[in-house]
Homo-oligomer: A and B are copies of this chain.
Amino acid sequence: MASCTACHGRRGEGDAAAGYPRLQGLSAAYQIKQLEAFADGTRKSEIMAPLARSLAARARAQATDYYAGLKAPAHPTAPASAPRDDRLAVRGRWSQEIPGCVECHGASGSGIGAAFPPLAAQPAAYLTAQLRAWQQGARQGDPLGLMQRIASRLSDEDVRAVSEYFSAIPVGGSAPPAAAAAANTGQAPPPEADAGGIESLGGAGGERVFVPADKPIPDDGFGRMVRLGRDIFDDPGRYAGRYVGNSLRCTSCHLDEGRRVGSAPMWAAYVSYPAYRAKNGHVNTFAERLQGCFSYSMNGRAPPLGDAALVALESYSYWMARGAPLDPGIAGRGYLKLPKPALAADRARGAAVYADKCALCHGRNGEGRSANDGSPGFPALWGPDSYNWGAGMVSVSNAAGFIKANMPFSLGNSLTDQDAWDVALFVDSHERPQDPRYSGTVEETRRRFHDSDNSLYGQRVDGHVLGSNSVPPGRRLRRAASAGG
């Protein structure tokens, strides 16, 4: 233990000046994995290698349990007052397949499970050193090679910005004032990535698609509504909680805060409504379309028309879509249309793909994972905290298109079409919350709503008829209500 405390401190607080990381509250499994990596050289450190090799298994367990059990003081470091550039940390740079760091490390950098360690309050020098190590191969063994790949796409300036951003978040705190916010306080906005517009080349295949302008949201009456819409979009459970019944966020299906082609971008949806929808047999306004997301994908309940949540999301979508032409056939709308695979989709093959590529984030039983501070993490893909049987994602073709284009994060378009179909079938052949349009029997509900939607609702899988054991919709809503939440 004495050998640990020399650098990491008696309470595992680390040493910001020297760049030694904080160990307080780090999961024991993560710590042990790192010690093994130091010992076998997949994580290179002249200091840690001999120490790790010398630690017997029992001593490792004692030390890591000790640090894992320590609670950090609420604000061990003074919160940074200067705004930080949050663009890469929060939003990522999806044009290079770089998700925001917060997608896997939690909105406040608190980490998610054992595989995605906390970044908040780690010394900037430590974070920078680690990103360099990933870039140079001095650190390896990351699951799916995620960090090596992502780090390799970062510039020196990216590394600096990200390290500063997370080092400025106190443990148990929330994100520091960001540059996007700073733009609204009279400070200079970040440099613009591009002006956006329909002329931009944004498609994967070089097709001409609209790219939203990357402009700061103005600080006026409209801008405040746009910002509320973005907040809801990022974390609907927090900002529109009474309408949300599961663990999903808008960004779960609409990546890059609704901008990304291949994940039903909001700018394309906005310019496509009002439109007739076969799903409910009448002309839907954009507001009604948003209601559908709450009822089905969020397994919640529809905000009434005119509710601030809907107005905010409509404002946010409009703001993002400015400059796009009204056009229901706009390029980039919806999900990737994947050609049918050579072999019929197969659940057993899908299960293998899932275990290999998906379980890391979404959990072995599709249950998803919250961040370590309880904020949203990875969405549940089936079960009571996932989308219900009325959602568009129960369509296996929708799911396959989404998965192919976007999954795993930073590895979009790496799965074969066959893998995408197989794993989509596997995911969508599990039980999930009942269809809110449930008419009393699974058979009739299937006939009325699912005969043409390419879903497995009402079909028999391993002896179980899907939909016959669904939890009622809004389970989480009622739970929250009975808890007074």
Interface set of A (CB-CB < 8 Å, partner B): 220-222, 225, 270-271, 273-276, 281-283, 285, 287-288, 305-306, 311, 314-315, 318, 321-328
Please give, as numbers and ranges, the residues of chain B lying within 8 Å of A221 by CB-CB distance: 276, 281-283
Contact B315 A326 (CB under 8 A): no
CA distance A318 to B318 in the complex (A): 14
CA distance A154 to B321 in the complex (A): 42
Q: 10 A-B contacts, Cβ less than 8 Å apart?
A: A221-B281, A222-B276, A225-B276, A274-B311, A285-B314, A321-B326, A322-B325, A325-B325, A325-B326, A326-B326
Please give, as numbers and ranges, the residues of chain B lying within 8 Å of A285 by CB-CB distance: 287, 306, 311, 314
Evaluate whether A283 and B325 lie within 8 angstroms (CB atoms) in the complex, with A305-B305, A306-B288, A311-B274 already known: no
- Shortest CB-to-CB span from A57 to chain B, Å, is 61
Contact A327 B323 (CB under 8 A): yes
* Cβ 8 A contact of A326, one of B275, B281, B324: B324
Evaluate whether A274 and B326 lie within 8 angstroms (CB atoms) in the complex, with A305-B306, A306-B305 already known: no
Please give, as numbers and ranges, the residues of chain B lying within 8 Å of A306 by CB-CB distance: 285, 288, 305
A-B complex: 5 closest residue pairs judged by Cβ atoms: A221-B276, A305-B305, A222-B276, A225-B283, A274-B315
17 more CB-based (< 8 A) A-B contacts, given A221-B282, A274-B314, A283-B311:
A221-B276, A221-B281, A222-B274, A222-B275, A225-B274, A225-B276, A225-B282, A225-B283, A270-B326, A271-B326, A287-B287, A318-B326, A321-B326, A322-B327, A323-B326, A325-B326, A326-B326
CA distance A275 to B221 in the complex (A): 9
Please give, as numbers and ranges, the residues of chain B lying within 8 Å of A288 by CB-CB distance: 306
Contact B323 A276 (CB under 8 A): no
CA distance A39 to B325 in the complex (A): 59
CA distance A221 to B314 in the complex (A): 23
CA distance A288 to B282 in the complex (A): 20
Evaluate whether A323 and B325 lie within 8 angstroms (CB atoms) in the complex, with A221-B282, A288-B306 already known: yes
CA distance A288 to B221 in the complex (A): 16
Please give, as numbers and ranges, the residues of chain B lying within 8 Å of A282 by CB-CB distance: 221, 225
Q: Which of A315, A323, A325 has the most CB of B within 10 A?
A: A325
Contact A283 B323 (CB under 8 A): no
CA distance A338 to B192 in the complex (A): 37
CA distance A305 to B306 in the complex (A): 7
CA distance A208 to B239 in the complex (A): 42
CA distance A326 to B213 in the complex (A): 12
Contact B314 A322 (CB under 8 A): no
- Shortest CB-to-CB span from A196 to chain B, Å, is 11
Evaluate whether A220 and B276 lie within 8 angstroms (CB atoms) in the complex, with A283-B225, A288-B306, A314-B285 already known: yes
Please give, as numbers and ranges, the residues of chain B lying within 8 Å of A325 by CB-CB distance: 322-326
CA distance A314 to B283 in the complex (A): 10
Closest B residue to A225 by beta carbon equals B283
Closest B residue to A323 by beta carbon equals B325
CA distance A306 to B310 in the complex (A): 13
Closest B residue to A329 by beta carbon equals B322
Contact A318 B274 (CB under 8 A): yes
CA distance A283 to B321 in the complex (A): 17
Closest B residue to A310 by beta carbon equals B285
CA distance A451 to B327 in the complex (A): 41
Contact B283 A222 (CB under 8 A): yes
Contact A283 B326 (CB under 8 A): no
CA distance A328 to B225 in the complex (A): 16
Evaluate whether A283 and B324 lie within 8 angstroms (CB atoms) in the complex, with A225-B276, A275-B222, A288-B306 already known: no
